[in-house]
Structure 1
């Protein structure tokens, strides 16, 4: 894997304006507060429900919130250093990738939104927003359905974990 390099810092507007966006919506049985806690309180648990993640953790001491750093390594060796830029319990968790060893990426941000679902449970929306040169867009574009499937499977395991059945 190439050496880690800094990405361009982006703000919330990037989530809607990024050249490459992957949006996944799901309905969970768990309540928004339970889902938000699982997403945010202990990053080291992510590999238990998101199988693409090999390791994850906050880089500083608690309490965590906006400004906290995270380090994430995916299976295959891709590494991210992230900053939490949005922490609005129990509805919104956003982080921006500050550094990665993934070649070609220029900016990256992800957002998790959780809202009470009609009839109970949680409506969740995950957004991955990326900017990269056209050659990288061309590689990411056909991978979008697989990424979406991976996120949906992770969200199903997240829901089972929240329900205590995982």
Structure 2
């Protein structure tokens, strides 16, 4: 059963009760990574194994996302800063117990020539027992994130024109 979550602002990234932060590096530049995250929303299932459906809603101001196992999210885009940051808040979900959830992808050039350092923050508020479970699941979320970034990078590198 879908439930509406508490709306939070971007400051929730810094003050959420649970903050899981993961990093990975790509050979693709920040512009390409940002386009894949924010402009090719429907392409997420091709590189993020946990995602079975992703589509923009509300003229691009929101997203609908479905995960393996049936979890669903209706989201609002909170920040869309090309080649720099992409963040979204979950407004409605069928995931039990979650009170508030915001995710942020920060993109930083990895060196002067190419590559991107990708930092994903998963910020959540939930009752104490679920906080324990989410914290314990951190290593699994981290592996899923790193695997997704590797798959995204391979996809972006395969698309890169020769000589770039």
State TM-score, norm by structure 2.
0.93
1:118 CA drift (Å):
1.8
1:76 CA drift (Å):
0.3
Residues of 2 paired with 1:86 and 1:160: CA distance?
26
1:139 CA drift (Å):
1.4
- Measured on the aligned residues, the alpha-carbon RMSD in Å equals 1.1
Give deviations 1:38-74, integer Å, cap 9, x for gaps: 111121110110000011101234xx3xxx1100000
Residues of 1 paired with 2:96 and 2:13: CA distance?
21
Aligned partner (choices 75, 84, 89) of residue 82 of structure 2: 89
User: Which residue number corresponds to residue 27 of structure 2?
Assistant: 29
Residues of 2 paired with 1:33 and 1:102: CA distance?
32
Aligned residues: 158
What SS does the corresponding residue of 2:58 show, helix, strand or coil?
coil
Structure 2 unaligned segments of length 5 or more: list them: 160-164
User: Which residue number corresponds to residue 139 of structure 2?
Assistant: 145
Give deviations 1:107-135, integer Å, cap 9, x for gaps: 00000111111252111111010000001
Q: Which runs of 4+ in 1 moved over 3 A?
A: none
1:94 CA drift (Å):
0.5
User: Which residue number corresponds to residue 129 of structure 1?
Assistant: 123
1:14 CA drift (Å):
0.7
1:16 CA drift (Å):
1.2
User: Which residue number corresponds to residue 58 of structure 1?
Assistant: 56
User: Which residue number corresponds to residue 77 of structure 1?
Assistant: 70
User: Which residue number corresponds to residue 10 of structure 2?
Assistant: 12
Structure 1 unaligned segments of length 5 or more: list them: none
Residues of 1 paired with 2:131 and 2:147: CA distance?
24
The farther-off stretch of 117-126 and 98-107 is 117-126
What SS does the corresponding residue of 2:86 show, helix, strand or coil?
strand
1:107 aligns with 2:100: yes
